Protein backbone atom coordinates (compact mmCIF):
# COMPACT_ATOMS: atom_id res chain seq x y z
CA UNK A 1 0.00 0.00 0.00
CA UNK A 2 1.37 3.38 -0.94
CA UNK A 3 1.39 6.15 1.64
CA UNK A 4 0.13 3.73 4.27
CA UNK A 5 1.41 5.92 7.08
CA UNK A 6 -0.58 8.95 5.94
CA UNK A 7 -3.70 6.91 5.16
CA UNK A 8 -3.76 5.04 8.45
CA UNK A 9 -3.06 8.19 10.47
CA UNK A 10 -5.77 9.94 8.50
CA UNK A 11 -8.24 7.11 9.13
CA UNK A 12 -7.47 7.04 12.85
CA UNK A 13 -7.92 10.81 13.01
CA UNK A 14 -11.17 10.62 11.04
CA UNK A 15 -12.67 7.88 13.22
CA UNK A 16 -11.55 9.75 16.29
CA UNK A 17 -13.19 12.97 15.13
CA UNK A 18 -16.43 11.26 14.11
CA UNK A 19 -16.73 9.48 17.44
CA UNK A 20 -15.71 12.58 19.40
CA UNK A 21 -19.19 13.11 20.91
CA UNK A 22 -19.01 9.63 22.40
CA UNK A 23 -15.52 10.17 23.86
CA UNK A 24 -16.59 13.56 25.09
CA UNK A 25 -19.49 12.22 27.16
CA UNK A 26 -17.75 9.12 28.50
CA UNK A 27 -17.88 8.98 32.24
CA UNK A 28 -20.38 11.82 32.44
CA UNK A 29 -23.62 10.94 34.17
CA UNK A 30 -26.57 11.63 31.88
CA UNK A 31 -29.53 13.00 33.77
CA UNK A 32 -32.54 10.95 32.83
CA UNK A 33 -35.63 13.01 32.06
CA UNK A 34 -38.00 12.83 34.97
CA UNK A 35 -41.22 14.72 34.25
CA UNK A 36 -42.73 15.71 37.55
CA UNK A 37 -46.43 15.35 38.30
CA UNK A 38 -46.09 17.26 41.52
CA UNK A 39 -48.57 20.09 40.98
CA UNK A 40 -51.38 21.18 43.30
CA UNK A 41 -54.12 20.07 40.89
CA UNK A 42 -52.62 16.64 40.17
CA UNK A 43 -51.91 16.02 43.85
CA UNK A 44 -55.58 16.52 44.61
CA UNK A 45 -56.73 14.00 42.01
CA UNK A 46 -57.89 10.66 43.36
CA UNK A 47 -57.17 8.81 40.14
CA UNK A 48 -54.20 10.36 38.41
CA UNK A 49 -55.20 10.05 34.77
CA UNK A 50 -54.46 12.33 31.86
CA UNK A 51 -57.01 12.77 29.07
CA UNK A 52 -55.69 9.56 27.47
CA UNK A 53 -53.47 6.77 28.78
CA UNK A 54 -50.00 7.69 29.95
CA UNK A 55 -48.28 5.75 27.17
CA UNK A 56 -50.50 7.33 24.52
CA UNK A 57 -49.71 10.79 25.84
CA UNK A 58 -45.96 10.09 25.91
CA UNK A 59 -46.02 8.74 22.36
CA UNK A 60 -48.56 11.02 20.73
CA UNK A 61 -48.99 14.28 22.64
CA UNK A 62 -47.37 16.23 19.81
CA UNK A 63 -49.69 14.73 17.19
CA UNK A 64 -52.65 15.23 19.50
CA UNK A 65 -51.80 18.90 20.04
CA UNK A 66 -51.33 19.36 16.32
CA UNK A 67 -54.76 17.83 15.67
CA UNK A 68 -56.22 20.03 18.38
CA UNK A 69 -54.87 23.22 16.92
CA UNK A 70 -56.22 22.40 13.48
CA UNK A 71 -59.59 21.39 14.88
CA UNK A 72 -59.94 24.53 16.99
CA UNK A 73 -58.49 27.11 14.63
CA UNK A 74 -59.67 25.77 11.31
CA UNK A 75 -62.78 23.67 11.97
CA UNK A 76 -64.45 25.58 14.85
CA UNK A 77 -64.34 22.45 17.00
CA UNK A 78 -63.54 22.98 20.64
CA UNK A 79 -64.36 19.69 22.38
CA UNK A 80 -62.26 16.56 22.49
CA UNK A 81 -63.90 13.28 23.42
CA UNK A 82 -61.29 10.92 24.82
CA UNK A 83 -61.33 7.13 24.48
CA UNK A 84 -62.79 6.98 28.00
CA UNK A 85 -65.72 9.06 26.79
CA UNK A 86 -64.91 12.19 28.76
CA UNK A 87 -64.92 15.47 26.92
CA UNK A 88 -62.34 18.20 27.28
CA UNK A 89 -61.91 21.70 25.93
CA UNK A 90 -59.13 21.62 23.38
CA UNK A 91 -56.89 24.27 24.84
CA UNK A 92 -53.28 24.23 25.95
CA UNK A 93 -53.91 26.97 28.48
CA UNK A 94 -57.27 25.90 29.84
CA UNK A 95 -56.93 22.11 29.80
CA UNK A 96 -53.25 21.03 29.73
CA UNK A 97 -51.83 23.71 32.01
CA UNK A 98 -54.69 23.38 34.43
CA UNK A 99 -52.98 20.24 35.73
CA UNK A 100 -49.48 20.53 34.31
CA UNK A 101 -48.70 23.93 35.75
CA UNK A 102 -45.00 23.09 36.03
CA UNK A 103 -43.51 23.66 32.60
CA UNK A 104 -39.88 23.45 33.75
CA UNK A 105 -40.29 20.21 35.66
CA UNK A 106 -42.70 18.64 33.18
CA UNK A 107 -42.43 19.74 29.52
CA UNK A 108 -38.81 20.80 29.56
CA UNK A 109 -37.57 17.59 31.16
CA UNK A 110 -37.85 15.56 27.98
CA UNK A 111 -37.69 18.45 25.52
CA UNK A 112 -34.27 19.48 26.84
CA UNK A 113 -33.10 15.88 26.96
CA UNK A 114 -33.87 15.29 23.28
CA UNK A 115 -32.84 18.83 22.41
CA UNK A 116 -36.03 20.07 20.82
CA UNK A 117 -37.35 23.59 21.22
CA UNK A 118 -41.10 23.68 20.61
CA UNK A 119 -42.15 27.23 19.83
CA UNK A 120 -45.54 26.97 21.57
CA UNK A 121 -44.44 29.50 24.17
CA UNK A 122 -43.83 32.30 21.71
CA UNK A 123 -47.59 32.83 21.69
CA UNK A 124 -49.18 30.52 24.24
CA UNK A 125 -48.75 31.73 27.77
CA UNK A 126 -46.61 29.53 29.99
CA UNK A 127 -48.16 28.55 33.27
CA UNK A 128 -45.20 30.16 35.06
CA UNK A 129 -46.01 33.48 33.49
CA UNK A 130 -49.52 33.29 34.84
CA UNK A 131 -48.09 33.28 38.31
CA UNK A 132 -45.72 36.14 37.47
CA UNK A 133 -48.72 38.14 36.31
CA UNK A 134 -50.68 37.49 39.46
CA UNK A 135 -53.25 35.02 38.20
Partner 1 sequence: MDIDKRQFLKILGISSALWVGSRFAGGISSLFGIGDKFDTKALADAGFEISKTLPDPKALTAKQWAIAIDIRQFKTADDYKKCIMVCDKIHNIPDISTKQDIKWIWEEPYNAAFPEQHNNYMGGQLKDKPVILMCNQCEFPPCVRVCPTGATFKRQDGIVMMDYHRCIGCRYCMAGCPYGSRSFNFQDPRPFLKKIDPEYPTRTKGVVEKCDFCAERLDKGLMPACVEASNGAMVFGDLRDPGSDIRKILSSNFSIRRKPELGTQPNVFYLI
Determine if 55 is a binding residue for partner 1 (CB under 8 A).
Answer: yes
| Per-residue interface string for the shown chain with partner 1, residues 78-107, x marking contact by CB under 8 A | xxxxxx---x--xx-xx--x----------
Closest CA to 124 of 82, 96, 88, 99: 96
56 binds partner 1 (CB under 8 A): yes
CB of 25 or CB of 86, closer to partner 1:
86
To partner 1, the closest distance from the beta carbon of 41 in angstroms equals: 15
Residue 127: partners with Cβ closer than 8 Å, 6 or more residues away: 97, 100, 101, 102, 103
Torsion, Cα 35 37 40 44, to 10 degrees, reads: 170
* Contact yes or no for 72/91 (Cβ under 8 A): yes
For partner 1, the closer of residues 11 and 73 by Cβ is 73
Considering only CA atoms, which of 52, 54, 116, 39 is closest in space to residue 90? 52
**Residues lying near partner 1 in the complex (CB under 8 A):** 52-53, 55-56, 59-60, 63, 67-69, 71-83, 87, 90-91, 93-94, 97, 119, 122-125, 127, 129-130, 133, 135
Amino acid sequence: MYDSGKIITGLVLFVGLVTLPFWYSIGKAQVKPDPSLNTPVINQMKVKHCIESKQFMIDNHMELLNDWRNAVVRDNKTLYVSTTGQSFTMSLEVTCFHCHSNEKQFCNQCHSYVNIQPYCWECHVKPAEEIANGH
